Homo-oligomer: A and B are copies of this chain.
Amino acid sequence: MAVAELSSSYTKTSLHSSQLSFLSNRLSNPSRRIDLQPLPPTRNARVVCSVASIQVQAPVPVHAEDPKMKRECYGVFYVTYDLKAEEQTKTWKKMINIAVSGAAGMISNHLLFKLASGEVFGRDQPIALKLLGSERSFQALEGVAMELEDSLYPLLKEVSIGIDPYDVFQDAEWALLIGAKPRGPGMERADLLEINGKIFAEQGKALNAVASRNVKVIVVGNPCNTNALICLKNAPNIPAKNFHALTRLDENRAKCQLALKAGVFYDKVSNMTIWGNHSTTQVPDFLNGRIDGLPVEEVIKDTKWLEEDFTEKIQKRGGVLIKKWGRSSAASTSVSIVDAIRSLVTPTPEGDWFSSGVFTNGNPYGVAEELVFSMPCRSKGDGDYELVKDVIFDDYLLKRITKAEAELLAEKKCVAHLIGEGIAVCDLPEDTMLPGEM
């Protein structure tokens, strides 16, 4: 717009006198009009989803008869670009694909924005988010995608939404499996295992068919250990080692409770293992845990508290939160998922470790093989991990670990039909769902 045009339009307007004087000043001094630095023009600014164009070049069979189920980038994320062609982004890493199930739920509503902000994978790591929902939640998924659009995260280069895991998991390098059916009234853990087991069997098959061959999978939906086992058993072409069941929230809560009891800040608590199942049989390990570098029991002398109250405090936390806050702990759960991912993509601090529910084959603790069991892990930051060998056991700890192992073996028998081990026989002696968990 030229100054002359501006000038003519001003004369038609009735203005405040101060506006007029300001504007006439500006018009008489056109060199001050715009002092913006023009940016270089965008290259490749076609309105096409870049993933779609890749698919055209290298088609992969997917179930996509229903046009609604076809993977497409949502809204503004349709834009294609060459990250290497622009000054600000040419030093960035190659984009990674992150699939999230249960993407319209509350945990995801916290998690997706953390992923998009760069606080999880780093400020030079562009990401594509692939959101899996259900027929029922499809509109809500669109709402989530719209809020991601409105957030203008520079690292978030693609968002796609869908309801078919064979579509959404395509080329996924991370799969964060949060979605699961919540436990209805009167439903037992066995019922939940059956219902959610089927979902995770299907998602395992989908990952096996279309995801990256080295996809890392974190199962959050409950019962997460056995769901993770089902998932990995249905994905034989993906290393079993790549599957995790989330016990990080339990670890974080354990650290917090030890800090509270010891009167120190939580960053002083280290080497905290949650052993076993994400259920009431879980074993927060105060024998190997450390406070300020010292064994927990040298700092907290109250053995009765450690043996009786400590575990209960961790396990009842979710229930107390629901009572106080009126909903389940979506925010801190999403923080613990971030922690779990970060523990795999950044080197573990010297001498410390983290807990994750992982495949037991080859474990040095004597835990039965062919289970997903929470154990202490270390990572070089390459997405992989190794189990920590330098832990000690005593009678009390081993007894509890054995109980957790027995529970997971029983859960496994309930889902035998979903992992290719014949007919399921389900005999779970008690309800071990954590209070406040779904």
Contacts and interface: CB of A to CB of B under 8 A. Distances in A.
Given A1-B287, A295-B1, A366 B256 contact: no
Interface string A194-228: 00000000000000000000000000000000000
Contacts of A47: 263
A76 B265 contact: yes
A212 to B, nearest CB: 25
A79 B297 contact: no
14 contacts: A1-B297, A9-B394, A18-B366, A21-B366, A23-B366, A23-B393, A34-B390, A37-B293, A40-B292, A88-B267, A143-B324, A143-B326, A150-B329, A150-B336
Contacts of A389: 32
Q: Nearest 7 pairs between A and B by C-beta?
A: A143-B325, A19-B366, A38-B293, A39-B293, A143-B324, A18-B366, A9-B395
Contacts of A22: 364-366
Given A36-B351, A104-B325, A151-B331, 17 more contacts: A6-B393, A13-B398, A19-B393, A22-B366, A37-B350, A40-B293, A79-B264, A110-B110, A139-B323, A139-B324, A139-B325, A140-B325, A142-B325, A146-B317, A146-B324, A147-B332, A152-B335
A390 B33 contact: yes
A15 B398 contact: yes
Interface stretch (A64-72, A162-170, A247-255): A247-255
A9 B88 CA distance: 61
Contact of A392 (B33, B149, B332): B33
Contacts of A293: 36-41
A139 B322 CA distance: 10
A189 B149 CA distance: 29
Contacts of A331: 109-110, 113, 147, 151
B154 A267 contact: yes
A320 interface: yes
A140 B81 contact: no
Contacts of A402: 16
Given A1-B394, A10-B395, A37-B350, A255 B152 contact: yes
Interface string A281-301: 000000100101111010000
A425 interface: no
A271 B365 CA distance: 60
A117 interface: yes
B13 A399 contact: yes
Contacts of A150: 249, 252-253, 256, 317, 329, 332, 335-336
A25 to B, nearest CB: 9
A144 interface: yes
A220 to B, nearest CB: 15
Interface of A: 1, 5-6, 9-10, 12-13, 15-23, 26, 32-42, 45-47, 75-76, 79, 81, 88, 104, 109-110, 113-114, 117, 119, 139-140, 142-144, 146-154, 157, 249, 252-253, 255-256, 259-260, 262-268, 270-271, 287, 290, 292-295, 297, 317, 320-321, 323-326, 329, 331-332, 335-336, 339, 350-352, 364-366, 368, 389-390, 392-396, 398-399, 402
Contact of A39 (B40, B255, B270, B332): B270
Name, among A5, A255, A317, A332, the residue most crowded by chain B CB atoms within 10 Å (CB to CB).
A332
Contact of A110 (B113, B140, B259, B292): B113
A146 B320 contact: yes
Contacts of A21: 366
A263 B45 contact: yes
Contact of A271 (B13, B36, B271): B36
A287 B23 CA distance: 15
B6 A263 contact: no
Contacts of A396: 9
